[in-house]
Amino acid sequence: MKRRLLAIVVIGTALITGFIAVGDSDYYARIGKSIETFGAVFREVSSNYVDDVDPSLLVEAGIDGMLAKLDPYTEYMTDEEQEDVDMLSTGLYTGFGISVSERESGLVITNIRADYPASQAGLRIGD
């Protein structure tokens, strides 16, 4: 009885592992095919487009398009943008002492910190 139970457990585990492995390999095969397609289109555009093409702009547009399919909050940052975020989040950034918000008319000051250049220059909330 124990041998039969052990055999069932071993066979069941092997089947489940096989299904998972096949599912994973199909997933990675689809990723590989998608990257291959992107690369083929990239090569065609780079080689045959009527004007000169900046490859980094094409890749960035491809990344932006891919992430736009996910949600409005996922975004790609360049190394320079990531450095800016790191600097702001570690407290190493001093700045002008203002917070701004984007409006249709442009940027609007929403907060001013005392004893910072913006406050000393006379800027006001709403400017």
Residue 98 CB neighbours (<10 A): 19
**What integer pLDDT is reported at residue 114 of this predicted model?**
81
CA-to-CA separations, 110 to 16, 80, 84, 91, 107, in angstroms, rounded: 57, 26, 21, 20, 9
Task: Give the three-class secondary structure for 106.
Answer: strand
Domains of the chain: 2-93 (no CATH), 94-127 (2.30.42.10)
**What integer pLDDT is reported at residue 6 of this predicted model?**
46
CA atoms of 82 and 6, how far apart (whole Å): 53
**What integer pLDDT is reported at residue 5 of this predicted model?**
47
HSE toward the beta carbon, residue 25, CA cutoff 13 A: 6
pLDDT grade for 83, boundaries at 50, 70 and 90: confident
Both tokens of residue 33? 């095919």
* Mean pLDDT value across residues 23-32: 84
pLDDT grade for 37, boundaries at 50, 70 and 90: very high
Q: Mean pLDDT across the chain, nearest whole number?
A: 79
Residue 111 CB partners (closer than 8 Å, separation 6+): 98, 99, 125
**What integer pLDDT is reported at residue 106 of this predicted model?**
82
Partners of 95 in the β-ladder? none
Distance of CA 63 to the CA centre of its chain: 8
Indicate whether 13 pLDDT > 60. no
**What integer pLDDT is reported at residue 8 of this predicted model?**
56
CA atoms of 51 and 92, how far apart (whole Å): 43
pTM (predicted TM-score): 0.48
